[in-house]
Amino acid sequence: MYFEKLALEVNATSAGWEVINPAVVTGTSGIEHKFTFLASDSGKLYGFDLYPEIGEIEVLRTFIKEMDSKTSAVIVCLSGRPTEKASEVAAELGVRILSPAEIGEFFKSKKKVSIVNRREERAFNIR
């Protein structure tokens, strides 16, 4: 789990995100939700939960944190393979599941979106 958490931190920092420590967010219910890793991209919070294996319970646990804390929650499955039922539940609830190999690509895709938005913003401001 150490290397995956390090990969999250390195990729988030490289993409220009702010790493938030401790990785705790107080939800609207007043409950403090702890994530394995927490980062902010232009004010939008992303909470990452790392699990050795993922079943429906882990997906539901992360979904509840996402709903209460207003973060975009992402699960990293250390084994790389969530159960079939967990994948179905995640798809229904809109929870993203990554394998450790997909961490870098996740931040690259978010970085591209930010660059496109900045270009559109500049073009809009010029006119």
Q: What is the pLDDT of residues 105-122, one digit of tens each?
A: 998 887 544 434 444 444
Residue 76 pLDDT more than 80? yes
* CA dihedral (106, 75, 37, 78) positive or negative: negative
66/90 Cα distance (integer angstroms): 12
Residue 127 pLDDT more than 50? no
15-51 pLDDT per residue, tens: 999 999 999 999 999 999 999 999 999 889 999 999 9
Task: Choose among 79, 56, 87: nearest CA to 4.
Answer: 79
Residue % of the chain over a pLDDT of 70: 87
Q: Are residues 111 and 16 in contact, defined by beta-carbon separation less than 8 angstroms?
A: yes
Q: What's the confidence (pLDDT) of residue 55?
A: 94
Q: What's the confidence (pLDDT) of residue 3?
A: 86
Q: Are residues 12 and 107 in contact, defined by beta-carbon separation less than 8 angstroms?
A: yes
Q: What's the confidence (pLDDT) of residue 80?
A: 78
Does domain 2-126 bear CATH number 3.40.1350.10?
Answer: yes
